[in-house]
Amino acid sequence: MEAPPDALAPGGSTSVAVRAAKDVTFGSVAGMVAKVFEHPFDLTKVRLQSQVLDATARFSGPIDCLRQTWLKEGFRGLYRGLPAPIVGAMTENAALFLSYNELQNALRWVTGQPLPQELSLGQLGIAAAGAGAITSFFLTPIELVKCKMQVQMLMTPALALETAGATTAGSIPPAAPSPKLPGPISVLTSVVRTTGLRGLWLGHTGTLIRETGGGAAWFGSKEAVACLLLARRNATQEPGSTSKPELMVWESAVSGACAGVSYNLALFPADTVKSAMQTEAELRPRKAGEPAPTFGGTFRAMYKAQGLRGLYAGCGITVARAVPSSALIFIIYDRLSSHFA
C-alpha cells in the first residue's frame, strides 16, 4: 500500500507537523475560550449529577443550584475548579481536532482516496468516534480533578476539614469551619497517594462511552449541517482543490450549535454515571474495605434511585449551554483555520 501523497512530497513531513501544530493550537484556543463561558453551567451539571444517589437532594434544579452557589459561595464559587477544566478543554479540543483530521487522512490512505476527495459522512463518523476514544484517555484524569473540586463545598464540614488537611486525630472541628480547600495539584496528588496512578482513570468507562459516541455525534452533526448550509448557498468545492469551501461565521455557529446539542444528547447517562463515580469519595465515602465503585454498579444504583430522570440530571442546562459554547468553539476554530490556511 502506498504512503499518503503529502508524505511523499518534498517537505511532506514538515507539512504534516505544521498541520498538527495548527490543529493543536486552534483547538486549544477554541476550547479555552468556550470553557470560561460555560464553566458555571458545567459546575451546576456536575452538582446535580452528584446528588442523584443522596437521600436528600441539595438542589431542586439548575436554577436553584446556581442561586445557592451564588448566595453561599459568590462569584468565585461559580468558577470553582476552573483551572482543571481550562486544561481539560485545551487538551480535549486539541486532541479531538488533531485526531479527527489525522484519522481522516488515515482513512483516505487505507481506502486509496486522493486528498481532495471528501470522505462520506459514515467515514467521517468513524474518524470522529476514533478521535473521541483517543481523547478520553487524556480527559479522564482532568475531569476527575475538576469534578472533585466542583463538589468540595458540598462536603460535610468535618470531611472538608479532613480533606484540606486541617484536622488531626482526636481533634474537634469548630462549629462553622472555613477550611482552605485543596487546589487542583493537591487533589491530583491526593488521588495518586490514596489510589495510585490507576485511580486517576476512575470513571474512564463513562468518559470513553461519552467521548466515542459523542465525538461521532459532534463532528458528524457539524459536518452534516455545514454541508446542508453550503448546498443552500450553492458553495461547492473547486475541482482539484484540497480545501473545503469556507463557512461563513453564522454557518459555523449554526452547525456548531447543532453539534453541541447532538453531543450532549447522544450518551448523557454515561456522563452522569462518571460524575457520580468521581465524586463518591467526597459526598458518599465508603467504609474501609468496601470495593471501589464500578460503572455498571453505579448505573444500576442511579437507575434504581431515580430512574431515567436521575440519569439525565442536569441534561437541560447542559444542552442549553452547549448551544452557544459549541458554536463558539467552531467559530474560533474555523476562523483560525481559514485565516492561517
pLDDT digits (tens, 9 = 90+) for 287-326: 777 788 899 999 999 999 999 999 999 999 999 999 999 9
User: Average pLDDT over the chain, rounded to whole?
Assistant: 84
Candidates 59, 134, 45; CA nearest to 92 is 134
Give domain status of residue 2, yes or no.
no
Write down the H helix ranges in 233-314: 249-266, 268-278, 280-283, 295-311
The predicted-structure confidence for 177-193, as pLDDT tens digits, reads as follows 445 778 888 999 999 99
pLDDT at 98 over 80: yes
Q: How far apart are CA 213 and CA 149, in angstroms?
A: 26
- Which residue reads 479522564 in cell numbers? 140
Mean pLDDT throughout 324-336? 93
CB 338 within 8 A of CB 300: no
pLDDT at 66 over 60: yes
Q: How far apart are CA 275 and CA 261, in angstroms?
A: 19
pLDDT at 88 over 90: no
pLDDT, residue 11, reads: 42
Q: How far apart are CA 116 and CA 126, in angstroms?
A: 19
* Model confidence band, residue 242 (pLDDT cutoffs 50, 70, 90): low
pLDDT at 221 over 50: yes
Q: How far apart are CA 321 and CA 220, in angstroms?
A: 20
First to last CA, the chain: 29
Q: How far apart are CA 194 and CA 285, in angstroms?
A: 13
Give domain status of residue 283, yes or no.
yes
pLDDT at 117 over 80: no
pLDDT at 94 over 60: yes
Mean pLDDT throughout 230-249? 72
Domain, as residue range, for 68 = 13-164+182-339
Which amino acid appears at position 329 of this protein?
Answer: I
Q: How far apart are CA 92 and CA 211, in angstroms?
A: 10
Give domain status of residue 219, yes or no.
yes
Give domain status of residue 276, yes or no.
yes
pLDDT, residue 82, reads: 79
Q: How many domains does the chain have?
A: 1
pLDDT, residue 243, reads: 60
Give domain status of residue 81, yes or no.
yes
Residue 244 burial (CB count, 10 A): 17
Looking at residue 72, which CATH number applies to its domain?
1.50.40.10
Give domain status of residue 5, yes or no.
no
pLDDT, residue 10, reads: 39
Mean pLDDT throughout 47-69? 89
* Model confidence band, residue 176 (pLDDT cutoffs 50, 70, 90): very low
Give domain status of residue 311, yes or no.
yes
Using DSSP's 3-state secondary structure scheme, residue 340 falls into: coil
**Burial class of 61 by CB neighbour count within 10 A (0 to 12, 13 to 18, 19+):** middle
Give domain status of residue 78, yes or no.
yes
The predicted-structure confidence for 260-282, as pLDDT tens digits, reads as follows 999 999 899 999 999 999 999 88
pLDDT, residue 31, reads: 85
What percent of the chain stands above pLDDT 70? 84
CB 90 within 8 A of CB 26: no
